[in-house]
A and B are shown apart, each in its own frame.
Chain A
Amino acid sequence: MYGRVVGVTVLGVGGHPVTVEAFVGRGLPSLTVTGLPGAAVQDARDRIRPAVEHSELEWPLRRVVINLAPGNLRKEGAGLDLPIAVSVLVATRQVPPSATVDHVFFGEISLRGEVLPTPGVISVAIAAMRRGLAGVIVPAANAVEAAQVDGLAVIAVTSIRDVVGFLRGTWTPPPVAGESVSPPARASVDLSEVRGQDEARRAIEVAAAGGHNLLMVGPPGAGKTMLARRLPTILPDLTRDEALEATQLHSVAGLLAGRGLLRERPFRAPHHSVSTAGLLGGGSTVLRPGEASLAHRGVLFLDELTEFRRDAIEALRQPLEDGAIVVTRAGGSVTFPARFTLVAAANPCPCGYAGDPRKHCRCRPDQHDRYRHKLSGPLLDRIDLRLTIPRLTKDELLGASSGELSSVVRDRVVAARERQRHRYAALGISSNADLPGPLARRAARLSDDAEELLARAVEHLALTGRGFDRVIKVARTIADLHQADRVAHAHVSEALSYRTAFEEDEDLPRAV
């Protein structure tokens, strides 16, 4: 006796359809799974029989062979529990086979036959949609995710009994609300809450407008974290495609917690003790997306950049270059999207008070050098915008005006991004941050006095070639915020003002 249903295994973020075949034949009662099952799938062997029997169905006391096709693909995850169980029910004719052909079954099951929340449902739904199937049968707890995919019937089930009822036509699944389950809630924080720090507020606006990565250097308590948290609130709203991508990653990581589509840009702030696998994704059996991927289409905030493990920081170069992370393990490799804005924060020196006019820095020069050395390197080359955040005095705080609302700033950001998209349409890039150096000069269209100012800056501020490109890119973004076609003197001036304590001249006199 033979039965066949379709399941999905989620590898990385992608769902891969798996044909689950069941054969029930003569022999001692046993259950064998073939077709490269992973550890979690092997586990299913012992779970499924009690679950079926607990659902007042019959488990055949015969030899049962389950085959998972294609055989060359490693199958991971407990989501195959449900299709395996259903395939046996089909093979023993306890449910009609005709009802199972155009649905995907997905879900982990408990010993009592309940269908449990399972990570990756949105990826399953996307795979089902691409396969041209009519619907998905998924855990009720994750049904909202599946409902985000258009043109797919979502059958939300809580137990094997529901599934059987549906297949026999004796149970009608409850409707699943698709859109507007998670209200387009505005962020709980707003840029207007930042008091003072006009320069820093302006800088994160520039970062948002040009897609630039940002390094903030300042003493403890200056407000670096507060500012970073507000960067997502001034980024343009997620487009539907972006939201789907981000939601998939969060779904696979099991972080959606019953929500449907992500509406807010993600903000991830891993602790500096994070491992390379934790930051970039990985794991020994099931490959999970790391923090960098969870920040996809949002902001990855690394507070205390110098405290992070060097190898973890170095490994961030790949996603910063490619917008994706390839994790390779013995079983194969998976690609996690990871296109995020990096915001890093650091103290100006080990004691935190270098450059503070009121508190004397107590670090020795060699400590300074070592500290700077930690911060230098290839990662820093990918950070266009560097910013010094001073600790404000009481007077400066009291004299500070309250800032603009995030929504006002976001409108300017959206307009600036629109200009960039239009300008770079032919180049396949979307923002100034992605501009290659030589192109940046052309795109900038510097005015004469801006050109002259840059020349002076090269001489006096000892700008390197890369530093020069960074200034131009940032100046281009500032011009876009002003809706200006050419980069003018004032734009270059502002771009030049974004420097950190590390670049400020600590050394000795140059010739007068």
Chain B
Amino acid sequence: MPFEEAGRPFGFPEGFGHAPAEGDAVLLLRCLLGPTPRSLHALIWAAGSASATVRRIRKGGAGSDNDRAFLGTADPAAIRERLAAIGARFAQPGDPDYWPAFLRLEDPPVGVFVRGRPLDPGDERVAVVGSRRPTPTGREVAADLASGLASCGIVTVSGGAFGIDTAAHRGALVAGGATVAVLGSGIDQPHPRGNRRLFADIESAGTLISEYPPGVPAEPFRFPARNRLIAALSRAVIVVEGATKSGARITAEHAMELGLEVFAVPGAVTNPLAETPLELIREGATLIRGLDDLLHDLGVDPSRIGRGRSAAGLSADERRVYERLAGPTLPTSVARDAGLSLEAAVAALIGLELRGLVRGRGGRFERTFAGRAADPSARRSSSEGSGRPPDG
């Protein structure tokens, strides 16, 4: 490393990418797979400009043989053509699609590839991240948060992965909002492939961003790097579920370095997926119990959005069952607690399920997140705490 940590300059040298022929040099640098963003950043400061950096690598003053081989054959025009063919574009610092906050990172990307809608500088964006293998509750919370944010006009940012990421993107799209996915793979091959439909939907209603040129496969070591872009794009980061040492934790750490607000949705201390949120809360992240808390803390007026499922119109049995249902419970136990026959309890549970208030899972029933929000008693205590008038 030619630079000492403490002395690292931010951003890029004056005129980076703007002199003639510099634009192509930036694109070539971004297509190099050898140097990490950090070493490339250092190299650029040492060389002074993009084209000087390319020259230096060509001469063997830096980079690897692979890099030189690439620069020997690469044709910027061909790369741009390939991008255009898949509806993607390259953005370097200063371009509208290059979000200025990227320059506040210690290892800013020299450029990014973008598909879909341009980033609107007027947009407010919030990241929702978490486990790839969440609980159904986690999924639901993430979707609910993203839907709520979307209905307030706030864009959800996430990583396009399975689990919480998918739930967040989908939640935003379902509510008719925009969403941004930051990929850890080449812009032409969003990973995971199982989310193809999601990526297509995001491209039409939102934006796909990747640091990686076409043809780069998804590899696990690229995911942590993409997390810094998720943080930099956002005004706040919400962690929904994550096991210890999760990717969500890395995103949250980037957010803290950037001075953003970090929110965490808590879980039971016995739940391994609550590790990351609970750790973050201990380290000072703000605990949120759901959309109401989040909107309050972001300073958004929650009464703007109509939401919440009604607990009105329940039959006496349904109400009895619903009031007694806490964690995942067998129908037999529900029947015993509510003093009903098994048949009556099952009928009530199915009625509640059809209203979206409870959910059957693995033979047991539990309240849904929406159900929690609709519970009059839960609602009362949450609004008392913040002194807001109850909404919905």
Contact = CB atoms under 8 A, between A and B. Distances in A.
Interface of A: 196, 198-199, 202, 218, 348, 354-357, 360-366, 369, 388-390, 392, 396, 399-400, 453, 456-457, 460-461, 489-490, 493-494, 496-497, 499, 501, 504-506, 508-512
Given A390-B364, A509-B167, A494 B359 contact: no
B363 interface: yes
Given A497-B349, A509-B167, A390 B174 contact: no
A350 to B, nearest CB: 13
Contacts of A504: 359-362
Contacts of A356: 362
B100 interface: no
Contacts of B121: none
A456 B357 CA distance: 14
Q: Most chain-B Cβ atoms within 10 A of its Cβ — which of A199, A202, A362, A461?
A: A199
Interface stretch (B6-14, B40-48, B276-284, B328-336): B328-336
Contacts of A363: 133
Contacts of B366: 357
17 contacts: A196-B332, A198-B331, A218-B363, A356-B362, A357-B361, A360-B272, A365-B192, A388-B362, A396-B332, A453-B350, A453-B354, A456-B354, A493-B347, A493-B351, A496-B350, A501-B361, A509-B143
Contacts of B166: 508
B136 interface: yes
Contact of B330 (A354, A366, A396): A396
Interface of B: 132-133, 136, 139-140, 143-144, 147, 162-163, 166-167, 170-171, 174-175, 192, 194, 272-273, 307, 309, 327-328, 330-333, 336, 342-344, 346-347, 349-351, 353-354, 356, 359-364, 366, 370
Given A218-B363, A460-B354, A501-B361, A494 B347 contact: yes
B267 to A, nearest CB: 12
A302 B127 CA distance: 47
Contacts of A365: 132-133, 162-163, 192, 194
Judged by DSSP, the binding face of B is helix
A267 B89 CA distance: 65
A396 B331 CA distance: 11
Contact of B143 (A460, A493, A501, A508): A508
B147 A509 contact: yes
Nearest to A365: B162
Nearest to A389: B363
Contact of B346 (A361, A399, A456, A494): A494
A253 to B, nearest CB: 37
A255 to B, nearest CB: 36
Contacts of B363: 199, 218, 355, 388-390
Contact of B307 (A366, A505, A512): A512
B356 A390 contact: no
User: Nearest 5 A-B pairs (CB), nearest first?
Assistant: A355-B362, A390-B363, A493-B347, A388-B363, A508-B170
Contact of B361 (A198, A355, A460): A355
A347 B170 CA distance: 29
Contact of A457 (B346, B354, B370): B354
Contacts of B144: 509
Contact of A348 (B170, B342, B351, B362): B362
Contact of B331 (A361, A453, A497): A497
Given A199-B363, A357-B328, A360-B272, A366 B192 contact: yes
B344 to A, nearest CB: 7
B350 A460 contact: no
B189 to A, nearest CB: 16
A304 B333 CA distance: 28
Contact of A364 (B133, B143, B171): B133
Given A365-B163, A399-B333, A509-B144, 13 more contacts: A199-B342, A357-B361, A360-B272, A366-B192, A460-B353, A494-B350, A501-B361, A504-B362, A508-B174, A509-B147, A509-B167, A511-B174, A512-B307
A218 B175 CA distance: 35
Contacts of A362: 133
B344 A369 contact: no
Judged by DSSP, the binding face of A is loop
Nearest to A482: B343
A98 B307 CA distance: 96
Nearest to B349: A497
B359 A505 contact: yes
Contact of A510 (B174, B273, B361): B174
Q: Most chain-B Cβ atoms within 10 A of its Cβ — which of A357, A396, A506?
A: A357
A247 to B, nearest CB: 38
Given A357-B327, A512-B147, A497 B332 contact: no
A497 B171 CA distance: 27
B347 A490 contact: yes
B327 A497 contact: no
Nearest to B194: A366
A509 B136 CA distance: 11
Contacts of A501: 361-362
Contacts of B346: 199, 493-494, 497
B143 A506 contact: no
Contacts of A357: 327-328, 361-362, 364, 366
A198 B341 CA distance: 11
A497 B342 contact: no
Contacts of A390: 330, 362-364
A495 B192 CA distance: 37
A369 to B, nearest CB: 7
Nearest to B148: A512
Contacts of A506: 136
A243 B363 CA distance: 37
Q: Most chain-B Cβ atoms within 10 A of its Cβ — which of A218, A366, A497, A504?
A: A497
Contacts of A511: 174
Contacts of B331: 198-199, 497
B354 A461 contact: yes
Contacts of A389: 363
B354 A509 contact: no
A239 B361 CA distance: 40
Nearest to B336: A399
A496 B136 CA distance: 20
B25 to A, nearest CB: 40
A512 B174 contact: yes
Contacts of B167: 508-509
A494 B343 contact: yes
Contacts of B353: 460-461
